[in-house]
Amino acid sequence: MLHKISQMLSRIPLIGPIFCFPFAVSQQAAFQLLFLWLLSSIPLLLSVGLSVAGGSAFRDALISELNINAIYLYTAAFLAPVLYMNYERLVYPKNEKIFQGAGWVFLASIAILSVSAFSFNNENSSMSAPQYTPAFTVYLSFTMYGLSILFWFFSIADSRLTGGSYADIVNSDTENFVARTKNLR
């Protein structure tokens, strides 16, 4: 019964892939995502920490440092590897199957990256006034940020599911190249 529910939930676009991965793979991917997210957020965390050490309240420091432009940049930074990994797996499929819903994640990542770039430009442009309300902009930016982290999780879990880390892939490609060049002699 639980398996059937999980199967049904896995068909929901964009969030369904959560239910496609075994628990052990999801657990490993969540740990790796948390580690990578903390590392990539060090500039923001350090800035908030220094503001708090300077006498600001934590909430005020977080709000002042976590502006919309930073969220758009983090969204783009998180989606770049997701797009590349999904492009590589969708266009040049390996023997293993890619996770269910990868096509939706790929298309949504392109759309989010495009909207993020447009919104970042709109926020920074002094020539034109923003054409939507700031409340909508804030909601949109945090929604895109959350989805980018979720999609990053899917890519990490997919790489764990297939057993291919970046180092394994590079070593395998190197070994294949060496074997092919030896045969040319």
What are the tens digits of pLDDT across the range 125-151?
644 555 555 677 778 888 899 999 999
Mean pLDDT of 105-129: 78
Within-domain flag for 107:
yes
Within-domain flag for 131:
yes
| Model-wide pTM > 0.75 | no
CB neighbour burial string for 131-154, b if at least 16 within 10 angstroms, e if fewer? eeeeeebeebbeebbebbbbbbbb
Within-domain flag for 1:
no
pLDDT the model gives residue 84? 85
pLDDT the model gives residue 100? 77
Within-domain flag for 32:
yes
Range of the domain at 107: 23-168
pLDDT the model gives residue 149? 92
Number of domains composing the chain:
1
Which two structure tokens, joined as six digits, stand for 89? 């797996």
Return the closest-CA partner of residue 65 out of 82, 80, 52: 52
104 falls in which pLDDT band (50, 70, 90)? Answer: confident
Average pLDDT taken over every residue of the chain: 77
Within-domain flag for 76:
yes
Mean pLDDT of 65-80: 84
Within-domain flag for 129:
yes
Within-domain flag for 4:
no
16 falls in which pLDDT band (50, 70, 90)? Answer: confident
178 falls in which pLDDT band (50, 70, 90)? Answer: low
